Structure formats: structure tokens, C-alpha cells
Structure 1
Amino acid sequence: MALKLHTIVASTRPGRIGPSIATWFNDFAAEHGKFDPVLVDLADFNLPVFNEPEHPRLRNYHYAHTKAWSDSVAEADAFVFVTPEYNFAPPPSLLNALNYLSLEWNYTPAGFVSYGGISGGMRAVQLAKQILTTFRMTPVPEGVPMPMVFQNLQNGKLNAPDIYKTSAAAMLDELHVWAEALKGVRSKHKASLERKAEAA
């Protein structure tokens, strides 16, 4: 059974271009063939600013939006975050979504497709990688930065140059190495969480 890769659209603002970029990457991942890719849009979960009364590590969620988000994240073996850069940082929607959960992120590798102006979102990615390590995630060095991406968008679709494809293939290869290597750890971790949930 193929490992499951979630491509997460990090921006939720009206008029965003994230879905166009994420759709291209998700389709590319399917063609690449090493993962079972799933496109996930943060906007679909409509997460308010973190409002759970208990710490996420307890997994005692009170709200339907949190439970739905938890179920989605727990299904994945690896993640790719498709993100813009806001003031040298990831968008608040991504940081909020990360902070909603804790244990569900553990022992998964992650990569980034970043986009924007001259920096291609790379400053946001460097900051986000530090945050991911606190969730026991493994961010890979390979990524797909897209500087001045607007020139490659036509009628709502990304016309990807070869450098995007080469970078995406390299990142997917590395994500697969780590997802396979961490597979046993994730399995034990999930089994432990299920036992704790049954005993609670």
C-alpha cells in the first residue's frame, strides 16, 4: 500500500493562488508514483484562531472543526505545505493549523512548495522548518521555491517550468526515503495513541 502524502494549501485568504499551485504539485506527485497523494485545503476546515480549551497533546478535542482536522492529519505519512510568504514568515493560517494539533504530526517528513515575489517564499519556509521540528517532524532540505510565480500562471493554472518539475521530483524522492524510514516509528506511535484513547 502506497504511503499517503498530503499536499496542504496553507493560505486561506480570498483571491489566493495557492490552490492552483497545490493542484499542479498534487498532480505531479501522482505522476511521480511513490505516494498516494491527497490534496488538502485549509480553507475547507474553517479553523478559527485556536480555541480548544485543553492542550492538543491530550487529544481531548471539544470542537468538530478540530476533530475533522485531527482525522485528516492523522491519515498522512508525509506532508507538503504549499505556502506564500507574509512579512518574511508563513501565513497565520498555517501557524494556527499547526498549533491546533500535536501528536498527529509526530514522526512525519515534510517539504515545502513556496511562492511569491523575488524570494519565492524561502524566508517563510526557513522559519516554518524550525517550528515543524517542535512537532517531531522531519523537514527535508529539498524544496520547490517559485520566485515571481505570477508569470507562470495562466487562466488559473500553473504552467510549470522544468526547474519546478526537477525540484519537485527531488523533494518527493527525499520525502519517500524519510517516510519509509519512519514508517515503523509512526505505526508504534499510532498504536500507543489508540491504546491510550481506549483506556481513557
Structure 2
Amino acid sequence: MDTPLRLEVIVASVRPERFAPVVADWFLRTARARPEFDIGVLDLLDVPLPLDLTETPETARFRERLAAADAFAVVTSEYNHGYPASVKTAFDSAKHEWRAKPVGFVSYGGLSGGLRAVEQLRQVVAEIHMVSVRESVSFHRARKQFDAAGDTGDGAAIDAADRMLTQLAWWGRSLRNARTAEPYPG
């Protein structure tokens, strides 16, 4: 298939005065420069998913977006050595829509750069039958890594984003072809 892969970028933080838009906007500019992707954004601040996981019209629309996606990238902060509750609610609000699809992570935070949150999320996505790509992007002391225009000179992050997007494209194409040939048995 030569059609672009639908990559949904999930922005996890919903806190007031969050830094997420800076990191997400940089990543979106990077991803949009890649012709193999058609990009969507699911900012969890704007997606009111119920904490009790009840079915609502918003949940149904959210699951439709997930079902149409070929791959995901999660932009996440780290709170108290873990991931935001909003992203766990998002993962728990759907089931089959996540299966047999790749996911990559862009994290940010203090000294750890959000890596503890990412390692915990890898366990969550494995349980819902996703494929977590090896490469991830991490911004340590994130507020110091971006200039006023939202650009970064962090060469390691720039390189990691390129490698992660390449892996997402490979897995996205491979798994889309596999799902088309035969339904996922999960």
C-alpha cells in the first residue's frame, strides 16, 4: 500500500500551564516533514474521557479515531516517577482499536527526561497488544532544551525522532498489511 500511514499523536499532559504543547508542536513539525505519514492530534486536554470508563459519545469518537490509525506517538511528561493518569485513561478507554499497531514515545521532564514514565507505559501497551518501537525521544530538563520559537538544538533528540519515525513507518506498514491479509488473533 502506498497510501500514507495515519499517525495519531497523543498529547498526554492535561495540567494547567503544561509544557506539553512546546514538545508536541516540535514533534509534530518533525513528523509532518515525513511524507509517509498523515498526522492527527489527540490532545487529551480536549478529549474528555470519563475516568469511570463509561461509554459516552466522546469515547465512541475517540475509539473511531484510534481504529482509523495505523500508528501512534505519545508525547508524555513524567509525574512522580510515572505517567499521567490521563494517558492511562486513554489506553483503558479502548480495547481492540489499539491492537497490532505500533507506538512510539516522546517524553520530557527533569533529570530523567520522562524515561521512567515511558518504561512503565511500555508494559501497558504490551498488555493491549501494541508494538512499542525501540527508539524513543527524551528531553531531560526540557524547559532548557527549547528556544522561544519552540525549536531545539538537542542533537540526540533530533536523531532519535528520525529513527523513531522510521521505525513507526516500518511497523505501521508491516502491521497494516498483516491486518489487511488476516485479522489480528488477539
Report the TM-score when normalising by structure 2: 0.91
1:105-131 Cα offsets, whole Å, 9 max, x none, are 011000000000000000110010011
2:130 maps to what in 1?
A: 137
CA–CA distance in 2 between the matches of 1:47 and 1:101? 11
Identity %: 35
The DSSP-based 3-state class of the residue aligned with 2:45 is: helix
Structure 2, unmatched stretches of 5+, are none
> How far 1:10 sits from its partner (Å)?
0.6
CA–CA distance in 1 between the matches of 2:153 and 2:179? 34
CA–CA distance in 2 between the matches of 1:90 and 1:156? 27
1:109 maps to what in 2?
A: 102
CA contact (8 A) 2:112 2:140 kept: yes
1:122 aligns with 2:115: yes
1:61-91 Cα offsets, whole Å, 9 max, x none, are x411211111121121000000011121110
- How many residue pairs match? The answer is 182
1:38 aligns with 2:31: no
> How far 1:38 sits from its partner (Å)?
1.7
> How far 1:160 sits from its partner (Å)?
4.3
The DSSP-based 3-state class of the residue aligned with 1:107 is: coil
**Comparing 12-21 with 155-164, which one deviates more in the overlay?**
155-164
1:67 maps to what in 2?
A: 60
Structure-to-structure mapping, 1:51-200, within 5 angstroms? 51-52=53-54, 62-155=55-148, 157-187=150-180, 188-189=182-183
CA contact (8 A) 1:45 1:68 kept: no
> How far 1:164 sits from its partner (Å)?
1.7
Aligned partner letter, 2:95: S
Of Structure 1 and Structure 2, the greater helix share is in: 1
CA–CA distance in 1 between the matches of 2:57 and 2:11? 20
The DSSP-based 3-state class of the residue aligned with 1:157 is: coil
Q: Which has the larger radius of gyration?
A: 1
The DSSP-based 3-state class of the residue aligned with 1:153 is: coil
Report the TM-score when normalising by structure 1: 0.85
CA–CA distance in 2 between the matches of 1:70 and 1:88? 28
CA contact (8 A) 2:75 2:106 kept: yes
Aligned partner letter, 1:5: L
CA–CA distance in 2 between the matches of 1:156 and 1:39? 20
